[in-house]
Structure 1
């Protein structure tokens, strides 16, 4: 089989289309033939600088869907031919993967392969944000960074489904229509900070209830100044920089959280339950997925260049 492997950390040029031995499903694992892999900023961070558990040499990628082709010892919950998806399995940029069964969920009929691959990590992330990080209620106002991106589009739809108002931030004028199509009530074109006054004006001077901030250091302070007293700043941009902050720097008695999706699905039961809720939203028509780009798996470096350019919208997928 082939996979996208790096021998050292760096730019997209370190990514290599590499022939590797076919994996074998061990006890409690399924051998899966890749159908599509999702591209995420987490992947670019792992490629560029590495993180704990993601140290070169390694095969990149964490998310995808595929088809079960063999089962390891003790696996009786899946069958050969099943369509399955996962939100986190290191080494997902590969034609074949041996994946622990506890990391897999079955893809329901009625959900296309590409949709399943596109919604796992970002769908669970948006679900985490809107239910656990800050449980959006009818009448709440939320600021969504990168509102035309993969997470932002899903997040906007989930906020609207829960009765909230969305103020979307996009980096380019041409992305505004995409954010509005997803349901954003207001869209501000900003590539960095300086949006807090407009947010306050749109909220009658009160500020937002929550800001979902994936913009990094450049937007960190403006996000906090956009909140009302006891509002929630959900910050998820570590690969764009982690600002130093003292508790006494927090304005308006706001709450600061760094949501990690693994904490939303710490058990097999939670993974199945929360993924099922995302799938149900898709099947009920409350959630749609925008595929912003499809690339051959061998051309993953181009996908990384494109997502890092900030010119893409929606979800990028790699197809074997």
Structure 2
């Protein structure tokens, strides 16, 4: 199959505010012998896109195509014989035309070149828009509640900003494992949505004292596991002795310096993981990708899409503006429609 020399993409040529984002022509991605070429239909919008745009995560070079996840169909397979004969590659049974989700950089473009271990088959009963909205946050939630802290029945799990796309998945997956889920959010509308997605208790942090409410709910036993930014921990008052704190992302800004001796007060564990480093080997990617899409296909994990944005300069800028707005008007996932299915 022949491909064009250039494609349209959402890119930046320097770091800055949303006005540095443009839809522009970029070179067709290199078909590395071990990669799969995917024709993209939908691109999920995530806070990590804003980190690259602002320069919190440095770009290797400009122009930089944004996007860390997408969905679409396979346009070309790897050409490397070692890959084609690899047992793990063969297990996937990938074919041209297959519907897939991808976990890769430069995903918000008409085509993406993706290492085969980051290509995930999409079940027939899961739409491409759902797949494009689910992958990065779904893999984050699933790996964190398995490896950062193995959530079990009866655990208390606290999720800050529970009505966001990631928060809703944490709530659903933790609830599915039998945990009691406590979350925070900013409005009653978002609280209602969080409860519909598995949260047992939702605290409105603008008007309620989070620490007092958590201790009231848990009857002074405090949380077994906590998922939040360090700025919200408030001296760990509601984390139980030997509890676990999992710090996720930089939505509230870069994580500030932290004195490890604070952990001694309750023998706490503190982690700052990334899903990327939980899904490195072919075995890990197949395990977690298969499990995630089984949970979605069976209805255990419902993907709430807040809004679909057009594949334009204005659409991409609006999506990042909406996502990053403090106090957040959005709930669930934001997605850019790059091409018709």
- SS of 2:234's equivalent in the other structure is helix
Q: Paired residue for 2:191?
A: 176
Q: Paired residue for 1:262?
A: 276
Task: Give the structure, 1 or 2, with the largest relative contact order (CA under 8 Å, sep 6 or more).
Answer: 2
Match of 1:22 among 28, 34, 45: 28
Q: TM-score, normalised by structure 2?
A: 0.88
Alignment of 1:5-84 (within 5 A): 5-52=11-58, 56-74=62-80, 76=84, 77-84=93-100
Pair 1:23–1:254, CA change in 2 (3 A): closer
Match of 1:209 among 194, 212, 224: 224
Alignment of 1:298-313 (within 5 A): 298=312, 299-309=315-325, 310-313=328-331
Counterpart check, 1:107 vs 2:122: yes
Deviation at 1:55, TM superposition (A): 5.2
- Is the 1:11–1:48 contact (alpha carbons within 8 Å) kept by the matching residues of 2? yes
CA–CA separation in structure 2 for the residues paired with 1:32 and 1:248: 48
198-207 or 169-178, which deviates more = 169-178
CA–CA separation in structure 1 for the residues paired with 2:289 and 2:96: 22
Deviation at 1:104, TM superposition (A): 0.8
Q: Paired residue for 1:293?
A: 307
For residues 179-224 of structure 1, the C-alpha deviation after alignment (integer angstroms, 9 at most, x for no partner) is: 01101111001159951121111100110101111xx4531335x2
Counterpart check, 1:242 vs 2:255: yes
- Is the 1:193–1:221 contact (alpha carbons within 8 Å) kept by the matching residues of 2? no
Match of 1:231 among 223, 227, 243: 243
For residues 255-305 of structure 1, the C-alpha deviation after alignment (integer angstroms, 9 at most, x for no partner) is: 111121122112011111111111111122211110111001211111000
5+ long unaligned stretches in structure 2: 1-6, 85-92
5+ long unaligned stretches in structure 1: none
Aligned-pair Cα RMSD in Å: 1.8
CA–CA separation in structure 1 for the residues paired with 2:152 and 2:37: 42
Q: TM-score, normalised by structure 1?
A: 0.93
- Is the 2:41–2:70 contact (alpha carbons within 8 Å) kept by the matching residues of 1? yes
